[in-house]
A = this chain, B = another copy of it.
Amino acid sequence: MQLRNCLALGAMLSIFSVQLLATQTPLSNAQKQTATQLMQTALESKLGMEIVTSLTTEIGPRLGGSEAEARARDWGVELGKRLGFDKAQIEEFTMPFWQRGKLHIALTSPYQQELYGTALGGAAPTQEKITADIVYFRDIHALADVKDGALKGKIAFVDGDLMVKSQTGAGYGQANQRRRIGWQHAQRGGALGLVVRSVGSDSHRFPHSGMMSKDGDKWASIPVIAISNPDADHLRRLHNLDTPLTISLHSESKWQGDVSSGNVVLDLIGSEKPEEIVLIGGHLDSWDLGTGAVDDGAGIAITTAAAALIAKLPKRPKRTIRVVMFGAEEVGLLGAFAYAKQHEANLTNHVLATESDFGAQTIWQLESNVNPQATLLIDEIAKILSPLGIVRGRSDAPGGGPDIIPMAAKGVPTIRLNQNGHDYFDLHHTPDDTLDKINPAELAQNIAAYAASIYLIADSDVELKP
């Protein structure tokens, strides 16, 4: 081996060693110790339960655009101040307001029986009580095949299957089609209204609410009602007995014009790079049927408590940690789009964004969508989180949560702390989404994972952009 070659090899090894050092130890021992201590503190803290208890009890249900959501914003600012955030403010936006009104839906033939239903978001009201025969469709595909005008004077019922329960909530997207676009086919068929089997994995007698999709810029001009899975089972059984079905329907839910909503923004200002923002959050609004404990009081509690525990450290992390309590998520990610627009000029300063919006069961996986160098940082974080039962997932997983979509679309890097969603769609958008459904130990595990990982990213110099 010639000297020249040896020197070249030495230089290569040296570069390699530096890279190895940089990639194998993107975190200092002190940082690792702080993260581990944060996890321990989080597991012992009651702060998360206190936050979600306060939100659901003192504010209650808080539909996007409602007076209750406005009270929740004031609550959020007050909470941020009390927990030691450096900055706590509301960023307002304007939105169209759909409000639930009274509903009565009942089977009237072959006999009288109340049905447990709820209007879907965006539905039109009935002018008065309507009574009409049901035309049964086994699933959304059957409804999609309906001929124009074939449903005149009728109410369509689109059945479907009970949503499969899974850790990832995988069945939701498909099941959700009947809720999202069913009305477009029913309306095209000339139906007086549409009744939809609830999108949910439970067999309780609760209807699941949720927003419908617009057709271009148009909302439904017919009433659309989701009924509970047991009610849908009941109609299916009667239909399978060749029993003609008639229902009566009176729904007063409707659009009410423009109102104010807003995002609550809480900042822990970074000690070295205050302009660089690590954004976490949940959504402050809820559907109106429950008190929004699981969706998404839990996400608000998890991310706020995690940041509040970091706020108690002797020194702020290098970067700014921002908790956003997004407004009006359920009704179309309106707070998320408002945030991305209002912060358009400095989105490049958002080094990372992630949201907790999948309930309160434990986190089982960490996924990311950052550059390869930063991926090694996330790998290191995953090792630190592993005592919480969290495994490392894909490093090319897009996402970050519903309210992160508009930011991610503009290039903001994301991670996901994926929660076990096995029971999430039992409760999702129903009256049953209440505080008692949250297991305090599981909530604390979430906070531990957020506190450790967000601290480490905020105290790092690693650039995460792909």
Contact = CB atoms under 8 A, between A and B. Distances in A.
Given A237-B53, A431-B116, A431-B205, A230 B436 contact: yes
A441 interface: no
Interface stretch (A14-22, A58-66, A258-266, A449-457): A58-66
A107 B71 CA distance: 16
A237 to B, nearest CB: 5
Nearest to A61: B113
A434 B205 CA distance: 8
A241 B113 CA distance: 40
How many copies of this kind of chain does the complex include? 2
A432 B241 contact: no
* Interface magnitude class on chain A: 35 or more
A233 interface: yes
A238 interface: yes
Interface in A418-446: 430-432, 434-437
B436 A203 contact: yes
B58 A241 contact: yes
Given A111-B71, A113-B61, A436-B233, A205 B203 contact: no
Given A116-B431, A432-B230, A434-B230, A57 B238 contact: yes
A290 interface: yes
Contacts of A229: 436
A60 B113 contact: yes
B290 A241 contact: no
Contacts of A436: 203, 229-230, 233
A361 to B, nearest CB: 16
Contacts of A71: 111
A368 interface: no
A99 interface: no
A159 to B, nearest CB: 14
B291 A111 contact: no
Contacts of A129: none
A111 B68 contact: yes
Contacts of A59: 111
Nearest to A229: B436
Interface in A225-276: 229-230, 233-234, 237-238, 241
A230 B430 CA distance: 13
Contacts of A206: 204-205
Contacts of A58: 110, 238, 241
Nearest to A205: B431
Contacts of A204: 204, 206, 432
Ranked 10 nearest A-B pairs via Cβ: A230-B434, A205-B431, A203-B436, A57-B237, A60-B113, A205-B432, A230-B436, A204-B432, A60-B111, A233-B436
Interface of A: 53, 56-61, 68, 71, 107, 110-113, 116, 203-206, 229-230, 233-234, 237-238, 241, 290-291, 430-432, 434-437
10 contacts: A57-B238, A58-B241, A59-B111, A60-B111, A60-B113, A68-B111, A68-B112, A71-B111, A233-B434, A234-B435
